[in-house]
Every structure is written in C-alpha cells, then in structure tokens.
Amino acid sequence: MSQKIQKLRDAARDQTCIVPGCGCTVGVVLAHYSGVRRLSFGGGLGAKVHDLIGSHLCQSHHYEMDTGNRDKDKRWENSETFEFYCLLTIIRLYEQGIIKV
C-alpha cells in the first residue's frame, strides 16, 4: 500500500505548518504518519506510510509527533492528533487543487 507520490512531497515546500496556531514556514515537510495505526497505512520497518497519510509539519511539530508515538501512555492520543493533522492537510491539498476529484 505504501506509495510515493512526488507531487505531494513537493507540495509541502513553502507551506505553513498545519498545526492550528503554529504558522511556522521554516522546514515544513510532508511528515508521514508514524502512529500506532501505521501498519494499516502501508508503514512498517523501514517503510513510510502512503504519501496521502502525511501532514505539513514544521520541524518542531514533526519531532513532537514522532517522539509522542514512543510514549506508551500517550501514543493513542498522539495518533489521533497526528491523524487530525493529516486530514487537515488533505483538505488543504484539495483546496489548493493539488488533490483533485
């Protein structure tokens, strides 16, 4: 299921971080979801999830999401937050015409 879509990766350049209230534009990348459901999205050992399951995150929030997955007490909450950011990113990409129906 894992699929690399270069257009989605390139689209992360010059975006603002999708986290509400952040607004950072430095170092924003397509941060691939890395939470507890990653196997369902094509992720695994050494494999990133499908490029559609990513979010535009600044370095700080990218780090926060990736490290939050390692906290056993908070990993489900972190997963839900990361998925929320991924959905916001999909809506943004649709509104920008990068994802078309």
Contacts to Zn ion by CB under 5 A: 17, 19, 22, 24, 58, 61
Cα 31 off chain centre by: 4
**Are 78 and 35 in contact, with CB atoms under 8 Å apart?**
yes
Q: Which residue has the tokens 């535009």?
A: 56
Nearer to Zn ion, 19 or 93 (CB): 19
Q: How far apart are alpha carbons 69 and 81 in whole angstroms?
A: 11
Nearer to Zn ion, 17 or 93 (CB): 17
Nearer to Zn ion, 38 or 61 (CB): 61
Minimum distance from residue 40 beta carbon to Zn ion (Å): 25
